Amino acid sequence: MGARSPRYQPHGAVVCMLLGCAAEPRSVGVFGEGGSTGAALDSSEAASVDASGSGTHVDGSDTAFVDTSAGDGEGPSLDVGGGVETVGPCEGEGCGCTAVDILFVIDNSGSMCLKQENLAAAFPGFVDAMGSALPAGTDLHVGITTSGFALGGSHSENNCVPQETQATIDEYFVRPGEGVITGNGLQGRLFEHDGQSFFAVDTADAAGMAALKTWFSAAATAVGCGVSSFEFNAAGAAWALHPDNVATNDGFIRDEGAALLLFVLSDEADQSLDVESLEFLHDTVIAAKTECGGDDCIVSGGLFSIFCTPAMNAAFTFLSSFGEEPIWADIGLGIGPPPDYAAVVGDALAQIVADQCDEIRPEG
């Protein structure tokens, strides 16, 4: 499969993508070798960000994003996961996925109330986009987990850098095997809503697709805010696919013949790489997709803080480790008109259809 160029999506850009507009989406710089590279922000550098996602350094210069494409191109290596054996991509006739699994990781910290509501409001449009983009008869699973691995606490950031000690961060990251933290959707467990830990539907079932709209829109806000203080978004995605969570998550993820979309919704930096290695997080996901083809079966997207992403966002680094950088856009500040969240998710979905499904070996 050819490499897909990383890109930041201004809100509504997917409309042009689907309709064939001429304008190219702009890149904000990403991790990786060569090309443009996101510049890390020093924690002592003061900056402000307005509601549009644009920002200003203390010296008055614009800093909506930092691009160092003129530099040496030596970003962090994302060549991880050498120990996981997977099958190669499918080529020629007879290829094409028959199922799509979509995992949303929703930040459940205190600043996320309005953003969760915005996602819930946008989701019906996303379901309509799925119905149009995916072939009728595609077996669809949609699930939610959260960023939380413990309850409560207090967390603050200075220019996307956590101000707590490593010992404090460790205290609020409890792996499933280290003890169960009581709470819906914590530690990578799927968030159960209305008696369902995930929603299964055939895209040809109009009534089922309508029910999915209702279920997800209610579940996304039921996740809550102020449940956990620290953001472990990448860890939430990986642990959702880990065998330690099979009791609550069994049946959600399919391996052979199924594409996987990982989508993160968070308004701050991610502390996952303070507690887990990138290799572990990547390989945990790949271990659940070995028969399908590993990286070749995974696409990703996100709504992130434009101030922290890509350079200071571990969730972006994690999603990039699957070979192609995520489709993403600014999550906004929770004030004013909500961003077009459905467009960004729709873009990621289009990539599944265009790039992933055609090269996935069907089950059997």
Looking at residue 123, which CATH number applies to its domain?
Answer: 3.40.50.410
Which of 110-119, 178-187, 209-218, 277-286 has the lowest average pLDDT? 110-119
Contact 99, 259 (CB under 8 A): yes
Q: Residue 91: which pLDDT band, with cuts at 50, 70 and 90?
A: low
Segment 204-227 shows an average pLDDT of 94
Q: Residue 49: which pLDDT band, with cuts at 50, 70 and 90?
A: very low
Please give the C-alpha separations between residue 330 and each of 12, 36, 112, 151, 287, in angstroms, as whole numbers.
11, 19, 14, 27, 30
> What pLDDT score was predicted for residue 279?
98
Asked whether residue 328 is assigned to any structural domain, the reply reads: yes
Asked whether residue 18 is assigned to any structural domain, the reply reads: yes
Residue 333 has pLDDT above 60, yes or no: yes
From first CA to last CA, the distance across the chain in angstroms is 21
> Number of folded domains in the chain?
1
Segment 280-288 shows an average pLDDT of 98
* Domain membership of residue 107 as a residue range: 7-359
Asked whether residue 193 is assigned to any structural domain, the reply reads: yes
Asked whether residue 234 is assigned to any structural domain, the reply reads: yes
Which of 65-69, 110-114, 123-127, 307-311 has the lowest average pLDDT? 65-69
Q: Residue 162: which pLDDT band, with cuts at 50, 70 and 90?
A: very high
Contact 239, 245 (CB under 8 A): yes
Tell me the percentage of the chain whose pLDDT exceeds 70.
70
Q: Residue 179: which pLDDT band, with cuts at 50, 70 and 90?
A: very high
Which residue, 354, 357, 346, 348, is CA-closest to 131? 346
Higher-confidence position of 35 and 357: 357
Helix (H) or strand (E) holding 145: strand 139-146
Residue 127 has pLDDT above 50, yes or no: yes
Residue 214 has pLDDT above 90, yes or no: yes
Segment 273-280 shows an average pLDDT of 98
> What pLDDT score was predicted for residue 264?
96
Helices 341-351 and 113-133: crossing angle in degrees, nearest 10, is 40
Asked whether residue 314 is assigned to any structural domain, the reply reads: yes
Asked whether residue 92 is assigned to any structural domain, the reply reads: yes
- C-alpha span between 45 and 259 (Å, rounded): 41
Backbone angles phi, psi at 33, to 5 degrees: -90, 130
Asked whether residue 1 is assigned to any structural domain, the reply reads: no
Tell me the percentage of the chain whose pLDDT exceeds 90.
51
Q: Residue 314: which pLDDT band, with cuts at 50, 70 and 90?
A: very high
Asked whether residue 307 is assigned to any structural domain, the reply reads: yes
Backbone angles phi, psi at 13, to 5 degrees: -65, -30
> What pLDDT score was predicted for residue 9?
59
Average predicted confidence (pLDDT) for the chain: 77
pLDDT one-digit tens code per residue, 57-82: 323 333 222 222 233 333 323 333 44
> What pLDDT score was predicted for residue 120?
87
DSSP secondary structure letters along 201-265: EETT-HHHHHHHHHHHHHHHHHT-SSSBSS--HHHHHHHHTSGGGHHHHTTS---TTEEEEEEEE
